[in-house]
Amino acid sequence: MKPPQVIYPKEPKTPKQEVPVKPILPSQVPQVTQSLPQLNSASEWISKIRTWLPNNANDKDGWSQDIFQAFYSQRISLNKENICATIAIIDQESSFQAEPRVAGLPQIVRKELESRREKYHIPEWVLERALNTTSPNGKTYAQRISALKTENDINHLFDDISNDLPLGKQLLEGHNPVHTGGPMQVSLKFAEETVKQNPYPYVIRKTLRDELFSRRGGVYFGVAHLLNYSAQYDMMKYRFADFNSGRYASRNASFQMLVSKITHQQLDLDGDLLSYKDGEQSVSDLQRVLWKISGLLQMTEKEINRDLTLEKTRDFEGAWLYKNVYRLGRARSINMPYAIVPSITLHSPKISRRLTTAWFAERVGERYQSCLALN
């Protein structure tokens, strides 16, 4: 059954007719612990969500409606835990700014341009001359770079450079240094994958990237990334960690630790079971260790590799490899939880200090608990 669609002609507005709401609690979300009065319409839910938004959220009516729409159109359970988890992520990632400002964007773009210039052996004076030409908005490209404040500014700048300047496509097409955007900082790649699987509830006015950078689109894809997948997590902190590190990273990190304990081999607990370099798969340390115990697992290397390709899906838990590793663990009295927070140091052009996934999950968790404490 396809999820219900609510398509607004222009800006989202509160529906004139009440939309009956029958929340479905799928197995993919934690069990509800917060008691709420029965809410039966869209307007009731939107009004309730508004009361849980932090004081720093401007246009609370707009935010609460976009959050409701993201849940309703994707048939994700409407409950306080899920909504507060969404609010906590938005507050952490953007402080409820639809287009959050990012420090150091001019330096980030200059660094990327310089890297591309060197790769293609373009003289420095050629690049500088190109950047001092007038762009479609009347300012030079150099002036626009100096004035960059948001990710969407970079988005429009790179589009104009690619389409307007000689060698622009060669220099920049597909090399935007900022890969995530919007109020929940979701990647364009994830958004593209999502719309292939589920109908997007709004009319796409320009491009999907523009939608991702908008409030309504950023919330929609952020909610999808956070909640619209099935996992046996008993605490939200693992979804927060997954939001930062990738789906099932918390489950996979526990699997990595179990393999490490069984084999007495040190492994990174990053939640990535396979390794990729420049888009091409390479042999990971986990693979090598698993190959060494293929006899104990009663599996061939080919079968191990096959099951590892399921790392980003719930199906991995039903694979022979997953079951056999846990069987070996039980035989050695090694008991591991379903999930642990991955050990990852975060790297991004937008990050200027040392941060980890554990830090991210903890900070979001604090905001989450504050939201749950509200009536």
Looking at the structure, tell me whether residues 89 and 158 fall in a common domain: no
Looking at the structure, tell me whether residues 251 and 325 fall in a common domain: yes
State how far the Cα of 37 lies from the Cα of 24, in Å rounded to an integer.
16
Which one-letter amino acid corresponds to residue 280? E
Q: What is the pLDDT of residues 231-283, one digit of tens each?
A: 999 999 999 999 999 999 999 999 999 999 999 999 999 999 999 876 678 89
| Chain centroid to CA 128 | 35
State how far the Cα of 260 lies from the Cα of 268, in Å rounded to an integer.
9
State how far the Cα of 190 lies from the Cα of 19, in Å rounded to an integer.
29
Instruction: Quote the pLDDT of residue 325.
Output: 98
Structure tokens at 115: 């890297």
| pLDDT confidence bin for 98, thresholds 50/70/90 | confident
Overall number of domains in the chain = 3
| pLDDT confidence bin for 155, thresholds 50/70/90 | confident
Residue 165 lies in domain: 105-177
Beta-carbon contacts of 63 under 8 Å, excluding residues fewer than 6 positions away, are: 49, 50, 53, 57, 90, 96, 215, 219
Q: Is residue 340 part of a domain?
A: no
Instruction: Quote the pLDDT of residue 59.
Output: 94
Q: How many CB atoms lie within 10 A of CB 156?
A: 18
Element (H, E) at 183: none
Q: What is the pLDDT of residues 41-54, one digit of tens each?
A: 899 999 999 999 99
**Considering 148, 177, 206, which residue would you say is the last residue of a domain?**
177
Looking at the structure, tell me whether residues 273 and 291 fall in a common domain: yes
State how far the Cα of 185 lies from the Cα of 169, in Å rounded to an integer.
25
Residue with the two structure tokens 């979300």: 29
Looking at the structure, tell me whether residues 126 and 200 fall in a common domain: no
Looking at the structure, tell me whether residues 64 and 130 fall in a common domain: no
State how far the Cα of 51 lies from the Cα of 39, in Å rounded to an integer.
14
Spatial contact of 50 and 61, defined as CB atoms under 8 Å apart: yes
Burial bucket for residue 321 (CB in 10 Å: 0-12, 13-18, 19+):
buried
Lowest mean pLDDT among 19-23, 25-29, 222-226, 336-340: 25-29
Looking at the structure, tell me whether residues 268 and 303 fall in a common domain: yes
The helix/strand/coil state of 125 is helix
Looking at the structure, tell me whether residues 167 and 307 fall in a common domain: no
Looking at the structure, tell me whether residues 200 and 92 fall in a common domain: yes
| pLDDT confidence bin for 17, thresholds 50/70/90 | very low
Mean pLDDT of the chain: 85
Looking at the structure, tell me whether residues 171 and 186 fall in a common domain: no
- Stronger pLDDT, 102 or 132, i.e. the higher one: 132
| End-to-end alpha carbon distance in the chain | 34
Residue 21's closest CA among 92, 84, 69? 69
> What percent of the chain has a predicted confidence (pLDDT) above 70?
84
Structure tokens at 357: 């996934």
> Considering the entire predicted model, what is its pTM?
0.80
Residue 314's closest CA among 3, 24, 26, 28? 28
Q: Is residue 348 part of a domain?
A: no
Instruction: Quote the pLDDT of residue 33.
Output: 44
Q: Is residue 234 part of a domain?
A: no
Q: Is residue 133 part of a domain?
A: yes
Residue 215: CA count within 13 A, CB half-sphere: 21
| pLDDT confidence bin for 22, thresholds 50/70/90 | very low
Instruction: Quote the pLDDT of residue 355.
Output: 80
State how far the Cα of 301 lies from the Cα of 309, in Å rounded to an integer.
13
Q: Is residue 258 part of a domain?
A: yes
Instruction: Quote the pLDDT of residue 329.
Output: 97
Looking at the structure, tell me whether residues 307 and 159 fall in a common domain: no
State how far the Cα of 84 lies from the Cα of 165, in Å rounded to an integer.
45
State how far the Cα of 344 lies from the Cα of 81, in Å rounded to an integer.
26
Mean pLDDT within 187-200: 92
Instruction: Quote the pLDDT of residue 177.
Output: 63
Residue 194's closest CA among 147, 227, 160, 155? 227
Instruction: Quote the pLDDT of residue 353.
Output: 54
Residue 101's closest CA among 287, 363, 350, 354? 350
Q: How many CB atoms lie within 10 A of CB 191?
A: 25
- Stronger pLDDT, 347 or 7, i.e. the higher one: 347
| pLDDT confidence bin for 25, thresholds 50/70/90 | very low
DSSP letter assigned to residue 271? S
Looking at the structure, tell me whether residues 218 and 259 fall in a common domain: no
Rg (CA), the chain: 23
